[in-house]
Chains A and B, each alone.
Chain A
């Protein structure tokens, strides 16, 4: 691990304010020009338990989390017990001197002396800022913005605690600090997590309607949009259940609102009949599924890539769909936009598949130039109606002319039954075949517009690592480290996992001596999908399903055994 990369873990009970320290530190680091990868690990409870907020920071670009800890900020004793074995050789442990724990690598903070108990997280922030070499005003500004709207007395006390704790930390011996190399000329970047990027991507695409039922780790997508609903002119509605959510979104989309839903596995299970309805009525919709480990309630606040096959096969009947699996926060933004474009273009369900790791992972992101990003193709409301308008006219592409109800003299029908070209139900079995074929032909167009997988590395590598979605960063970093050891390595990352177009990647699979799939699930679902689609069998797999994200260390450790 290069000395310039530092992994900072803040641990404690829920309710101790560790996320506040983490957020303020992350904001300060990004403003100082550093790259970060945040990993949040928490239990499904509001108070108590054990939670961590980990920031991996580097002056150079990073995209993966790290398992070993270089700086452990323990807000309770339990954090020390749980994580001391993860400390790197140069690791420091920052604790309350009252914990009565001692060691050469311990920084003993006199929290009682530095702050009243309720502000002790701010004291921790002050000490951390100095240990990392962050400018005082930078941290103070981030804090003031965060607490700005609360009462003045509190702001004042926070400032005093921050200043006092910084003054104390300035006197620390150099061996007990981990100053980051300064970034000269820091670039302006946004502090965004995956879910926020999905919400912003949706806004830029012109989303006008989101209905949802709260469920971790998807909820923050809806909350981000709800906060911007008034400014951006959209409707966010918390539905009575997920079934209502997707049917509401489909009704809204039919009537002209660019629509989406966001949920996780269990909620998506309730939505599945609606997916089929979207396909049959040819109604555009974007469905975000933020995965967590199942079956059933599973591990509600942890991560997994276990729902690929579920989403792929969701909905009864046979119909085309597209599934994106973004690998970076930026891809969350751009591929969500892409999902909206394709949903409108092909009039059906399009998916964005993410997970808890990415949902909660803050990164430093180059700002998007939204002025250059048009909203999805708007439907022309004032089209001069042809005399014989057919909503479901049989076409070569399978895409039929879509008009909206209420804007022309034509009446627009949509039916969950098999229907004729006018939308009215039919039991004419010859029409059934025409309609099924018409709908399925859209897969040809969708396939022609697939976002190709990203290949990096040697053209004919000894080792090819194949991955999809949120494992991209970890795989890239593992490959980079192997290359520095002189290994011949390539990586193949899929940010769209359906449809698959074998011509886009078979040369890479065939050109490598050894192919290894890296996935966050127990059975190698994507490797299986590759096999059923292409016949290519990736027998060597590195899988993880303990609820934690795949890291470069995890890949390197497990490569030995595959």
Chain B
């Protein structure tokens, strides 16, 4: 029996009012709705405040290196496709340090759900610009203002025709939980970019700032329509669309490996007859 309580209740190291609390709640709700037993779920994370999330959930977890959650998740999913693999980390981890892996995961279309806690700032290291910080924002590390333009993960993922692209907001927990359920159900790579405030270090993009802007995509938006999705993906400013922005039905990465048609790798013993034949081919 899957229950909200079954996913545990832990004391966290997060600031009061941090968006992470709401995202954790939404994730728990989604796991319960999807009726996933804790031991069937693997959460892989990197480093950052968001990456601490699996420590506050009763699930399997691999809390690896900064930026490297997606490769570790890809390896785990390939080793055992029966696991429901979720990656949870922040904007710095996924879009900065791990940017190359973000692009590669989209290309592969590995069946992993990527939840990015995107607060447009570095929290763990105390307030430097992240890849999604707006141009010109002043921080202690960028005293003259951020000189680069921000990374738009939703537009990049949509442009690359990622399997499933969505944006959520930590201030709309039920809406976010619903997005996570859909993302987990998608058989392929799924990105949920989650807007959240950082109460300690982001004085620009506050809860009120997001609340005013984050509006569900219009009801007539068709996520299967790529051209339409690209327009929505580039909408950013007074209005920030949330919801499912794009999806397609590309086959998931792991379906390409014949070895996996025989089940998880660990259940396949070494075929010494075949190996002897391979050795013979070198004679």
Measured CB to CB, the residues of A under 8 A from B are 31, 188-192, 196, 200, 203-204, 206, 208-209, 211, 228-235, 237, 239-241, 243-245, 247-257, 259, 273-274, 277, 281, 367-368, 370-371, 373, 375, 378-379, 381, 404-406, 408-417, 423-425
- Please, could you name 17 A-B residue pairs with CB atoms under 8 Å apart, sorted by A? A191-B282, A204-B272, A208-B259, A232-B275, A239-B71, A247-B71, A250-B72, A254-B62, A255-B75, A256-B265, A274-B68, A370-B272, A371-B272, A381-B267, A405-B60, A412-B60, A415-B61
A248 lies within 8 A of B270 (CB): no
A414 lies within 8 A of B61 (CB): yes
A204 lies within 8 A of B275 (CB): yes
| Interface of B (DSSP majority class) | helix
B279 lies within 8 A of A256 (CB): no
Distance from A65 Cβ to chain B, minimum over Cβ atoms (Å): 21
A255 lies within 8 A of B65 (CB): no
Q: Mark out the residues of chain B between 71 and 120 whose CB falls within 8 Å of any chain A CB in the assembled complex.
A: 71-80, 82-83, 100-101, 103-104
Q: How far is the CA of A209 from the CA of B75 in the complex (A)?
A: 8
Interface stretch of the complex, out of B35-43, B139-147, B172-180, B243-251: B35-43
A259 lies within 8 A of B61 (CB): no
Q: How far is the CA of A244 from the CA of B75 in the complex (A)?
A: 10
B52 at the interface (CB under 8 A from A): yes
Indicate the member of A189, A370, A409 with the most B CB atoms within 10 Å: A370
Query: Which residue of chain A has the shortest Cβ distance to B253 in the bound complex?
Result: A237
Q: How far is the CA of A407 from the CA of B74 in the complex (A)?
A: 19
- In the bound complex, residues from chain B placing their C-beta under 8 Å from that of A412 are 60
A405 lies within 8 A of B42 (CB): yes
- In the bound complex, residues from chain A placing their C-beta under 8 Å from that of B77 are 251, 255
A406 lies within 8 A of B83 (CB): yes
- In the bound complex, residues from chain B placing their C-beta under 8 Å from that of A204 are 270, 272, 275
Q: How far is the CA of A273 from the CA of B278 in the complex (A)?
A: 35
Q: A203-B278, A414-B61 are in contact. Are A243 and B270 (CB under 8 A)?
A: no
| B80 interface neighbour in A281, A405, A408, A409, Cβ under 8 Å | A405
| A252 interface neighbour in B54, B55, B70, B75, Cβ under 8 Å | B75
B276 lies within 8 A of A259 (CB): no
A235 lies within 8 A of B76 (CB): no
Q: How far is the CA of A188 from the CA of B282 in the complex (A)?
A: 11
- In the bound complex, residues from chain A placing their C-beta under 8 Å from that of B74 are 237, 244, 248, 251
Q: How far is the CA of A253 from the CA of B71 in the complex (A)?
A: 12
Indicate the member of B47, B54, B265 with the most A CB atoms within 10 Å: B265
Distance from A211 Cβ to chain B, minimum over Cβ atoms (Å): 7
Distance from B281 Cβ to chain A, minimum over Cβ atoms (Å): 9
- In the bound complex, residues from chain A placing their C-beta under 8 Å from that of B279 are 190, 200, 367-368, 370
Q: A231-B278, A256-B265, A256-B266 are in contact. Are A244 and B100 (CB under 8 A)?
A: yes
Q: How far is the CA of A159 from the CA of B257 in the complex (A)?
A: 39
B216 at the interface (CB under 8 A from A): no
A235 lies within 8 A of B259 (CB): yes
A190 lies within 8 A of B282 (CB): yes
B283 at the interface (CB under 8 A from A): yes
Query: Which residue of chain B has the shortest Cβ distance to A257 in the bound complex?
Result: B79
| B44 interface neighbour in A209, A243, A251, Cβ under 8 Å | A251
B78 lies within 8 A of A241 (CB): no
Q: How far is the CA of A251 from the CA of B63 in the complex (A)?
A: 10
B260 at the interface (CB under 8 A from A): yes
Q: A239-B71, A251-B73 are in contact. Are A406 and B60 (CB under 8 A)?
A: yes
B62 lies within 8 A of A244 (CB): no
Distance from B51 Cβ to chain A, minimum over Cβ atoms (Å): 9
Q: How far is the CA of A370 from the CA of B281 in the complex (A)?
A: 14
Distance from A263 Cβ to chain B, minimum over Cβ atoms (Å): 15
Q: A406-B40, A416-B64 are in contact. Are A209 and B83 (CB under 8 A)?
A: no
B60 lies within 8 A of A413 (CB): yes
B58 at the interface (CB under 8 A from A): yes
Distance from A95 Cβ to chain B, minimum over Cβ atoms (Å): 33
Indicate the member of B75, B104, B274 with the most A CB atoms within 10 Å: B75
A247 lies within 8 A of B65 (CB): yes
- In the bound complex, residues from chain A placing their C-beta under 8 Å from that of B68 are 243-244, 247, 274
Interface pairs A-B: 6 shortest CB-CB = A251-B75, A251-B72, A252-B75, A405-B60, A257-B79, A256-B266
- In the bound complex, residues from chain A placing their C-beta under 8 Å from that of B47 are 416
Q: How far is the CA of A534 from the CA of B244 in the complex (A)?
A: 64
Q: How far is the CA of A373 from the CA of B263 in the complex (A)?
A: 24
B264 lies within 8 A of A281 (CB): no
Q: How far is the CA of A371 from the CA of B266 in the complex (A)?
A: 19
- In the bound complex, residues from chain A placing their C-beta under 8 Å from that of B72 are 247-248, 250-251, 254
Distance from B95 Cβ to chain A, minimum over Cβ atoms (Å): 15
- In the bound complex, residues from chain B placing their C-beta under 8 Å from that of A405 are 39, 42, 60, 76, 80, 83
Distance from B70 Cβ to chain A, minimum over Cβ atoms (Å): 8
Q: A235-B260, A250-B64, A251-B76 are in contact. Are A406 and B42 (CB under 8 A)?
A: yes
